[in-house]
Structure 1
Amino acid sequence: MKKLFLPLLLALGFLMSMCGTDPYAPGCVNEYTATQDSADRKAIREFVARKGMTGVITTQSGLSYVIYNAGEGQKPRSSSIIKADYRGSFVTDVSGKAFDSAGYKPSFNLKQVIKGWTEGLQLIGTGGRIRLMIPSHLAYSSCGNAAVPPNTPLVFDINLVEIEKY
């Protein structure tokens, strides 16, 4: 039994040391460095220039946005449930190919979406249309997900269809 204990302990230690290296692992720890922040901001600036966009505003968190239509009425809060039509792509993808979109106007709890959405959608009312350029730390960070690689800044064009619950 003693001879089995040390190899088993070493194997367990090795397996545990691998935790967090898989960006899609549930236990991934988000890390955001100054270097990544600089890369995200540069990628967003290049996207804005490539698209010839004007009137872009950047918040203190690093979220950049353009409001195309402010919408009407009360704006959602961070705890609101909303219906939205959206299209998401990678800031760095010059083809503009969408990695995600929804034309069927799904509902979202703003407490359960990426931070960039939670922050950005509070800027418009019902019927509003906004483009969010989201640095990776406000999206899927260094963990990524099945559709988004780690450390990827994103762009979303969103139409806020309805606020179901304030």
Structure 2
Amino acid sequence: MKKILFVLALVVFGSCSDDEKVDYVAKNEEEIKEYIAANGLNATRSDSGLYYVVEEEGTGERPNFNSDVTVAYKGYFTDKEIFDESSAEGISFNLRQVIAGWTEGITYFKEGGNGILLVPAALGYGNSDNRGIPGGSVLIFEVKLLATN
């Protein structure tokens, strides 16, 4: 019986693909640090692993995790390939309806503020492909908080 369990364990663990074994947390951390250094950014790391740069804090109301906001943004990968971008008028949404990196990151700005969010996969779309974004991707967003509704 022990031999059967051992063989089953080997089959289960041996069948994992290399993609499943990638440590995206460590890989993303390294990729973000390299991007920060290469671009001369003065970024802050939060406890969650989100990095952010406040270029202008803003002077209006600061949103909380439950706020409705309007944000203008551009999203790209560390190679600067753009994957999404809003109009200058931005888009409106509730911070509970977006990726965790935005739910947290947008709260570092007040209305009128802007900056950069460097989002590891764990706070973005995770390790699976999502609408053209490869699993495990670091996402970078230039954001401007236009309004806290």
TM-score normalised by the chain length of structure 2: 0.82
1:85 maps onto 2:69 in alignment: no
Counting aligned pairs with the same residue, the percent is: 33
Q: Which ranges of 4 or more aligned residues in structure 1 deviate by more than 2 Å?
A: none
Gap regions ≥5 residues in structure 2: 1-19
Q: Distance in 2 between matches of 1:65 and 1:34?
A: 25
Secondary structure, aligned partner of 1:41: helix
- Aligned equivalents of 2:68, 2:22: Cα separation in 1: 33
**Partner of 1:118 in structure 2?**
103
Partner secondary structure for residue 83 of structure 1: strand
Q: Deviations over 1:52-98 (max 9, x none)?
A: 21x2100111000110000113211111110010000012x1xx121
- Unpaired segments of 5 or more residues in structure 1? 1-30
1:121-148 CA distance string (max 9 Å, x none): 1111100002000000000001231121
TM-superposed deviation, 1:34: 8.4
- 1:48 aligned to 16, 36, 43, which one? 36
Query: What is the aligned partner in structure 2 of residue 38 from structure 1?
Result: 26
Aligned CA RMSD, in angstroms, stands at 1.5
SS state at 1:48 partner: helix
Shift of 1:118: 0.5
Correspondence 1:76 to 2:26: no
TM-score by length of 1: 0.74
Partners of 2:60 and 2:112 within 8 A in 1: no
The number of residues matched between the two structures is 129
> Aligned in 2, Cα 1:150/1:34: closer, same or farther, shift over 3 Å?
closer
> Greater CA radius of gyration, 1 or 2?
1
Helix, strand or coil at the partner of 1:155: strand
2:120 to 115, 135, 139: 135
